[in-house]
């Protein structure tokens, strides 16, 4: 196998807060190979965004980051100067966030912002060429009347169109890696589908590897090659997308899958994981999922399960992963099916 494009080993991030030290991310390993789409899923607060922000060192100064290895294309990101990092951000690594209004500059036209991204990272300083490229990019991401709209400001764009403009900026310099953090969460459902389809097209055209952060397993099924399931700042399970959906081996993943709506049956309970994620300033001893786990035993309350291989390219952090082989996720959560 080729070398990974991105290699993260032993990433831990804490924040000192009034409520104590928050263990936002603990012992995360994540490698991404060229061209693949890796989804990071988990409930709110599970550490997805903090993991992604760590890559390009975009966390606030209050974050304490401890990382064994952090390499992009074999280069140590931790050793890079701020200036070197700036040339990576928006160049070989494109970023797309949930709310484009926080990233787009309200007093610059959309075209100027795309052209600026092009000029910043490419040898051309030719403004006309950069503007022409902005129109091409807007066209590529499906913004109608691109020649006119390139002169408009972000507030003149709808939410879906702004997200398209963000994607145009992210792919402007033909990136090797795209980081998309909940790129469609703020959009209406119909627009979400369009923007996801566009992201998939942009990914296919640029061949960029993609880290897609989402809490939506439907999006994962649609988009991802590989899935990393996070719980309480740790990786609970990781596998190829088909393997994970067909043969989940962690009770948390099974809970997420059991809560997916299905076409063929009604279920009498759509949110089967009882309880809430733990307070990361005071995480439980042992397995962080044990207070909510239908399988929890004494050992889980005192010892933390390591992330272990359970099948080819499939890892689970559950002591009892063997017992879970072949178990239906809904059965594990005691869910009754009410046939429609």
Ligand X SMILES: Nc1ncnc2c1ncn2[C@@H]1O[C@H](COP(=O)(O)OP(=O)(O)OP(=O)(O)O)[C@@H](O)[C@H]1O
CA distance 164 to 96: 10
By beta-carbon proximity to ligand X, the closer residue of 118 and 287 is 287
Q: Where in 265-294 is the site for ligand X (CB under 6 A)? A: 280
List 6, 11, 22, 146, residue binding ligand X (CB under 6 A): 22
By beta-carbon proximity to ligand X, the closer residue of 18 and 264 is 18
Least separation in angstroms between CB 59 and ligand X:
7
By beta-carbon proximity to ligand X, the closer residue of 53 and 135 is 53
By beta-carbon proximity to ligand X, the closer residue of 45 and 175 is 45
By beta-carbon proximity to ligand X, the closer residue of 50 and 137 is 50
Per-residue contact track with ligand X, 26 to 65, x per CB under 6 A? ----------------x-xxxxxxx---------x-x---
Site size for ligand X (CB under 6 A):
16
List 24, 146, 223, 329, residue binding ligand X (CB under 6 A): 24
List 6, 8, 15, 316, residue binding ligand X (CB under 6 A): 15
Least separation in angstroms between CB 77 and ligand X:
18
By beta-carbon proximity to ligand X, the closer residue of 150 and 273 is 273
Per-residue contact track with ligand X, 119 to 148, x per CB under 6 A? ------------------------------
By beta-carbon proximity to ligand X, the closer residue of 113 and 210 is 210
Least separation in angstroms between CB 319 and ligand X:
24
- In the complex, which residues of this chain contact ligand X (CB under 6 A)? 15, 17, 22, 24, 42, 44-50, 60, 62, 215, 280
């Amino acid at each position: 196998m080729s070398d990974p494009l991105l290699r993260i080993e032993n990433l831990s991030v804490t924040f000192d807060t009034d409520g104590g030290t928050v263990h936002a991310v603990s012992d995360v390993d994540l490698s991404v190979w060229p061209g693949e789409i890796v989804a990071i899923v988990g409930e709110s607060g599970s550490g997805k965004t903090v993991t992604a922000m760590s890559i390009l060192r975009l966390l606030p100064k209050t974050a304490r980051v401890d990382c064994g290895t952090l390499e992009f294309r074999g280069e140590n990101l931790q050793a890079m100067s701020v200036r070197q990092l700036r040339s990576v951000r928006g160049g070989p690594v494109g970023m797309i966030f949930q709310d484009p209004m926080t990233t787009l500059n309200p007093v610059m036209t959309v075209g100027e912002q795309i052209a600026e991204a092009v000029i910043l990272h490419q040898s051309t300083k030719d403004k006309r060429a950069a503007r022409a490229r902005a129109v091409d990019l807007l066209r590529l991401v499906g913004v109608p009347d691109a020649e006119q709209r390139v002169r408009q400001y972000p507030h003149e764009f709808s939410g879906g169109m702004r997200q398209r403009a963000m994607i145009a900026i992210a792919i402007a310099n033909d990136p090797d890696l795209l980081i998309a953090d909940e790129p469609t969460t703020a959009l209406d459902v119909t627009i979400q589908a369009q923007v996801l389809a566009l992201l998939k097209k942009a990914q296919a055209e640029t061949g960029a590897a993609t880290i897609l952060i989402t809490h939506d397993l439907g999006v994962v099924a649609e988009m991802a090659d590989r899935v990393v399931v996070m719980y309480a700042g740790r990786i609970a399970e990781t596998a190829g997308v088909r393997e994970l959906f067909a043969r989940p081996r962690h009770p948390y993943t099974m809970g997420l899958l059991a809560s997916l709506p299905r076409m063929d049956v009604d279920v009498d309970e759509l949110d089967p994981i009882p309880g809430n994620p733990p307070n990361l300033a005071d995480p439980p001893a042992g397995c962080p999922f044990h207070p909510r786990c239908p399988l929890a035993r004494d050992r889980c309350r005192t010892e933390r399960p390591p992330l272990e291989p359970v099948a080819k390219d499939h890892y689970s952090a559950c002591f009892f992963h063997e017992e879970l082989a072949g178990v239906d996720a809904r059965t594990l959560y005691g869910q009754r099916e009410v046939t429609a």
